[in-house]
Amino acid sequence: MKILAVETSTEACSAALYIDGEVHEYFEIAPREHSKLILPMIDSLMAEAELKPQQLDGLAFSRGPGSFTGVRISTGVIQGIALGADLPVVPVSTLAAIAHHYLKTSEFECAFTAMDARMGEIFWGVYKKNQQGYAELIGDEAVTLAENIIYPQLQGMGIGSGWGEYPEQLSNCLGSLLQGIEANHLPRASAIVDLGVEGFDKNQAVAVEQAMPVYLRDKVAKKESER
């Protein structure tokens, strides 16, 4: 299986190529440079593997939450490649990508994942490592005040930029469940491609028309208006 993935939803920009179990990745922390960097990253990965888009089995991308501009970049790039090469796509949560990379590279089994959402809020999701080694969402992702988080009674690590902004509020909520904090953990395309592989295995790939970004604030606003 050959899958290309991109991630541009935070200050980090990355692209990864999965080829039959091996992952190759370009990763760079470069705020506001994503639109200049992402296509050359993709071109380099494909050239090094001597592949054309039509030889891929599918694509994966970070569908949000995250920076509005960053999420639009990853969505637009993947939509363009998918349309041109007629490829299926797996949309992957940015929160899931942060959690998956952390859980894959640490001994911990649960991640309390928080991204700074500005406006005094965080993007929040709790993930646990499943039997296959992938990050699996427990409950729902949400945009919320730090003091209003909903969480299971599991011990885990606090990861993501939200912990850098609201460490006291989040720590007070979780109490003894919190095993530590790593606020500088960013999403990577290598995690997106891992979760993309899992998505293809579970038949979660969609046509390009359905490969859309997810803005949790939009989701909340829609629910409120529907009421």
pLDDT tens by residue, the chain, 227 residues? 999 999 999 999 999 999 999 999 999 999 999 999 999 999 999 999 999 999 999 999 999 999 999 999 999 999 999 999 999 999 999 999 999 999 999 999 999 999 999 999 999 999 999 999 999 999 999 999 999 999 999 999 999 999 999 999 999 999 999 999 999 999 999 999 999 999 999 999 999 999 999 988 765 434 433 33
Cα first-last separation, the chain:
44
Residue 93 has a pLDDT of 98
CATH topology for 95-182? Nucleotidyltransferase; domain 5 (3.30.420)
- Residue 25 · residue 3 · CB < 8 Å: no
The predicted-structure confidence for 17-66, as pLDDT tens digits, reads as follows: 999 999 999 999 999 999 999 999 999 999 999 999 999 999 999 999 99
Question: At CA 213, angle to CA 45 and CA 71, rounded to 5?
Answer: 55
CATH for the stretch 2-93+187-226:
3.30.420.40
Which pLDDT score, from 0 to 100, does residue 42 have?
98
User: If we measure between CA atoms, which residue out of 162, 50, 178 comes closest to residue 111?
Assistant: 178
Tokens encoding 220? 């909340």
- Measured between alpha carbons, how far is residue 218 from residues 65, 105, 125, 213, 214 in Å? 10, 32, 17, 11, 8
Cα 38 to Cα 9: distance, rounded to the nearest angstrom:
12
Torsion, Cα 123 186 12 172, to 10 degrees, reads: 50
3-class DSSP state of 212: coil
The residues of the chain that CATH labels 3.30.420.40 are: 2-93+187-226, 95-182
